[in-house]
Amino acid sequence: MDNLRVSDASGLAASRKHRGVLYTHNDADKSEPFVYAINATNAAIISTLRLFPAENQDWEDIAVGPCGDRSCIYVGDSSSHKLYRVEEPDYIHSDQILTDVLAVHTE
């Protein structure tokens, strides 16, 4: 991946809503709370998804799975012991702020 925004990718998950889209994030401590939607064919960033009001203290993994009858992105933060959940956006375009973020403590 030739992009300065993703400097320490940690975790990779395939979208259940958007064919050919993968999600990743940076693993660096105290990074921005961004999930990157990337093209699975050429690894180009399609969109930067800001999870608000989530914080990235030490995001370690990402997954995509069901949440009711919808599809959600799950991000695990090992430092704060939180699991963030947000619904996958209906459209992947430019940069977006996803505001319906649920945080659950895992301790």
pTM value is 0.90
pLDDT tens figures, 45-99: 999 999 999 988 889 999 999 999 999 999 999 888 899 999 999 999 889 999 9
HSE value, Cβ hemisphere, 13 Å, CA-based, for 87: 9
The number of beta carbons lying within 10 Å of the beta carbon of residue 1 is 13
∠ Cα 96 102 107 (to 5°): 135
Beta-bridged to residue 48, according to DSSP, are 36
pLDDT tens figures, 2-53: 566 776 777 899 999 999 999 999 876 567 899 999 999 998 999 999 999 9
Task: Give phi and psi for 12, each to the nearest 5.
Answer: -150, 130
